[in-house]
Amino acid sequence: MISYLRNHTFSFSILLSIALHAGVSVTLLLLAYFQTAPDTLTIDATRGPARVLSINTRFAANQSYHSQAEPGLHREQSPATDANSGNAHVDSQAAAGLIAERVSQLKRTLSYPPTAVAMRLSDSLRVEIEVLPDGTVATVRVLDASRYAVFNRSAVREIAAWQFPPPGITVRHITRINYIMK
């Protein structure tokens, strides 16, 4: 057996090298694919306090998420009907755009949960935020949960404390939060 290993060590090392390179290539391809996700929050969670490295959002400040969402996922309560229903639609779009812009800003303030830092966890979740006419958060609902409950709890707790400029109507906004360990 030992003589067999001595005679075939080179062949074994070549096969091992090929297997490792293939695994690294697949891993890099998967990372490249998943890092292009919209609404990505990248947090540096190395030693010291976590800090936001970047945030990429899919929508401009004046666009609301509901214009891209599936029908029925995002609805706004209509304000009291006035003589011109076109004004109500413009007002609701402006309110949704205001909320979308503020969510984009507030996502930068999310902290990486200390437990997730210690365990070097990364994942994402999708939430629906309901903002009341006075700007307070009425509900935060997890639509697509993270595999790790620590991210779900942390995101819901922090988002529930957010304060928005009063939109004048109830607005629901859907966003994805990606916690990425660098």
Look at residue 123 in the predicted model and tell me its pLDDT: 96
Look at residue 36 in the predicted model and tell me its pLDDT: 38
Look at residue 45 in the predicted model and tell me its pLDDT: 44
28 phi and psi, to 5 degrees?
A: -65, -40
Q: What is the pLDDT of residues 17-28, one digit of tens each?
A: 786 666 655 555
Does the pLDDT of residue 88 top 80, yes or no? no
Q: What is the pLDDT of residues 104-137, one digit of tens each?
A: 888 888 999 999 999 999 999 999 999 999 999 9
Does the pLDDT of residue 168 top 80, yes or no? yes
List the single range of 27-36, 58-67, 70-79, 96-105 with lowest mean pLDDT: 58-67
Look at residue 65 in the predicted model and tell me its pLDDT: 34
Does the pLDDT of residue 161 top 50, yes or no? yes
| Averaged confidence pLDDT in the chain | 71
Look at residue 147 in the predicted model and tell me its pLDDT: 96
Look at residue 60 in the predicted model and tell me its pLDDT: 33
Does the pLDDT of residue 138 top 60, yes or no? yes
CATH of 39-181 among 3.20.20.70, 3.30.2420.10, 1.10.10.10, 3.30.70.141? 3.30.2420.10
Look at residue 17 in the predicted model and tell me its pLDDT: 72
Own/partner pairs, 54-63, CB within 8 angstroms, 24+ separation: 55/104, 55/107, 55/108, 57/104, 57/107, 59/100, 61/97, 61/100, 61/101, 61/104, 62/97, 62/101, 63/97, 63/100
Residue pair 145/127 in contact by the 8 Å Cβ criterion: no
Domains of the chain, by residue range, sit at 1-34, 39-181
